């Protein structure tokens, strides 16, 4: 991949995503500080050498800096040792009541969570085309899905009473129950139209190597694909040369029956430069054609290529809410993902989820690029998810983070006086050291994923 492609497909989406989330976070601090009568000296997006800067009429210096991974709002009297002119003391942060200081500090993470609500609301109102929660078992000899009696073509209606409208809803629900180590009760409608219950026991589900393999696939589930009905045959491609036509239904390869387009795709991918016998149903009659597959490179892997596409339109449905319905769904979605983020952090700390699942800026850039390539709705979902993560992480009671400052102010409320400067300095050093170690470990994980 060329440097230009890396810039356009990954770096630019990453900078746009991170820049927007930091802007919203710092704007939360800024707006509430101004509402509380605090003078803001500097508003910076990024660190390091300023690329752009200007000073507003109210005296605030606005800065866009070179290093985009962060930002800050510098307020008058924010530092314990700041010298303040008595004439300006009423505008100083440290002279404000502790309740106002709490509001100012909490505003950053809260704005990130509100951004997620707004993004989800917009998506739900505009409507998105989603993969329906039609499920099938994977090819594994034994899986949780097979033990639960899951059948090909089951349509999931709800999980533990929570309505499911898309494959993504199903995936989030299953991951949440896996983290909670409990049962996932799937209420389904079978192909025959009857309703049934499939219970997945996730109490012993392992998150080992979770970053390398889809968790739902590891449970033994995959989306159901329809009959291998061809909607497109490339002119001059391998399939066309072999005699296959549009609207043919592939029913067997080398005499082995195929139940869906998934089976055909899998067989073709595993057969670069090989000749396979394709049996099709055409006008009610079965015919067999010999097709010599081509090959192409995909993600550093050589795979087979037939020049065909399938009609899988039945797999998709439009998910859309009224503006009023979307408010509730957006709030619920943001809340559930916030709780899931907290649970995941707890499970990493206790060792239930391996620490190699911690991701850093390289993984975030990769996800930003891939989501952008899949279209605006996918990128907006990515922004909402990262905004939730940023908001939740910043509320953790770790010195240096907003949550650490909130912890200091909570202690001040209880004991009636602020912590000593020495206590705050020690906490800041410990918190900074912990964050630097965490960042180094996350980047190590990112590099390890790239290498492996």
Burial per residue of 189-228, b for 16 or more beta-carbon CB atoms within 10 angstroms, e otherwise? eeeeeeeeebebebeebebeebbeeebbebbbbbbbbbbb
Q: How many CB atoms lie within 10 A of CB 406?
A: 19
The continuous run of DSSP H or E covering 66 comes out as: strand 61-75
Q: Name the residue with tokens 């590099």.
A: 447
Angle between helices 361-373 and 421-451 (to 10 degrees): 60
Query: CA–CA separation, 51 vs 47, rounded Å?
Result: 10
- Taking the C-alpha atoms of residue 107 and residue 126, their distance in angstroms, rounded to an integer, is 28
Neighbouring CB atoms inside 10 A of 30's CB total 22
Q: What is the C-alpha to C-alpha distance for residues 256 and 215, in angstroms, rounded to an integer? A: 29
168 in Cβ contact with 183 (< 8 Å)? no
Total residue count of the chain as it appears in this document: 452
Cα 91 versus chain centre, distance:
40
**Both tokens of residue 397?**
């009671």
CA-wise closest residue to 94 among 403, 409, 446: 409
In order of 78, 94, 408, 416, the CA distances from 413 in angstroms are: 18, 14, 9, 5
Q: Which of 26, 78, 176, 187 is catalytic?
A: 26
Which residues make Cβ contacts (< 8 Å) with residue 331, sequence separation at least 6?
A: 117
249 is catalytic: no
DSSP string, 243-295: T--TT-EEEEETTEE--SHHHHHHHHHT-TT-EEEEEEEETTEEEEEEEE-EE
Compute the distance between CA of residue 94 and CA of residue 23 in angstroms, rounded to an integer.
Answer: 24
340, 346, 352, 353: CA torsion to nearest 10: 60
What amino acid positions are annotated as catalytic residues? 26
């Amino acid at each position: 991949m060329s440097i230009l492609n890396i810039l356009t497909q990954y770096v630019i989406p990453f900078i746009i995503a991170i820049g927007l989330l930091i802007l919203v976070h710092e704007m939360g601090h800024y707006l509430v500080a101004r509402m509380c009568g605090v003078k803001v000296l500097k508003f910076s997006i990024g660190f390091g050498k300023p690329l752009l800067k200007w000073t507003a009429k109210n005296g605030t210096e606005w800065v866009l800096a070179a290093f985009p991974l962060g930002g800050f709002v510098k307020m008058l009297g924010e530092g314990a040792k700041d010298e303040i002119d008595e004439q300006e003391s009423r505008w100083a942060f440290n002279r404000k009541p502790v309740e106002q200081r709490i509001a100012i500090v909490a505003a950053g993470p809260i704005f990130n969570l509100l951004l997620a609500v707004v993004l989800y609301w917009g998506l739900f109102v505009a409507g998105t085309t989603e993969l329906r929660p039609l499920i099938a078992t994977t090819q594994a000899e034994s899986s949780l899905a097979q033990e639960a009696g899951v059948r090909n073509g089951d349509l999931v209606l709800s999980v533990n009473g929570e309505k499911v409208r898309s494959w993504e809803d199903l995936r989030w629900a299953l991951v949440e129950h896996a983290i909670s180590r409990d049962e996932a009760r799937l209420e389904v409608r079978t192909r025959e139209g009857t309703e049934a219950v499939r219970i997945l026991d996730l109490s012993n589900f392992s998150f080992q190597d979770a970053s390398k393999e889809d968790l739902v696939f590891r449970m033994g589930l995959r989306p159901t694909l329809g009959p291998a009905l061809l909607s497109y045959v490339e002119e001059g491609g391998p399939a066309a040369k072999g005699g296959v036509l549009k609207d043919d239904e592939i029913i067997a390869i080398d005499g082995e029956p195929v139940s869906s387009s998934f089976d055909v795709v899998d067989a073709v991918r595993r057969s670069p430069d090989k000749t396979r016998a394709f049996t099709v149903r055409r006008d009610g009659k079965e015919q067999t054609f010999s097709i010599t597959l081509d090959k192409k490179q995909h993600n550093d892997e050589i795979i087979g290529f037939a020049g065909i596409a399938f009609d899988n339109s039945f797999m998709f449905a439009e998910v859309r809410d009224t503006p009023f319905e979307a408010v509730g769904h957006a709030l619920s979605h943001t809340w559930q993902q916030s709780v899931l983020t907290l649970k995941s952090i707890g499970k990493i700390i206790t060792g239930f989820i391996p620490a190699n699942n911690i991701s850093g800026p390289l993984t975030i850039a990769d996800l930003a690029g891939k989501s952008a390539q899949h279209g605006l709705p996918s990128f907006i979902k990515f922004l909402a998810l990262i905004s939730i993560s940023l908001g939740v992480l910043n509320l953790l009671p770790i010195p240096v983070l907003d949550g650490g400052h909130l912890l200091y102010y909570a202690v001040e409320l209880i004991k009636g006086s602020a912590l000593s400067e020495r206590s705050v300095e020690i906490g800041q050093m410990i918190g900074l050291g912990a964050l630097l170690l965490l960042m180094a470990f996350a980047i190590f994980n990112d590099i390890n994923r790239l290498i492996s």
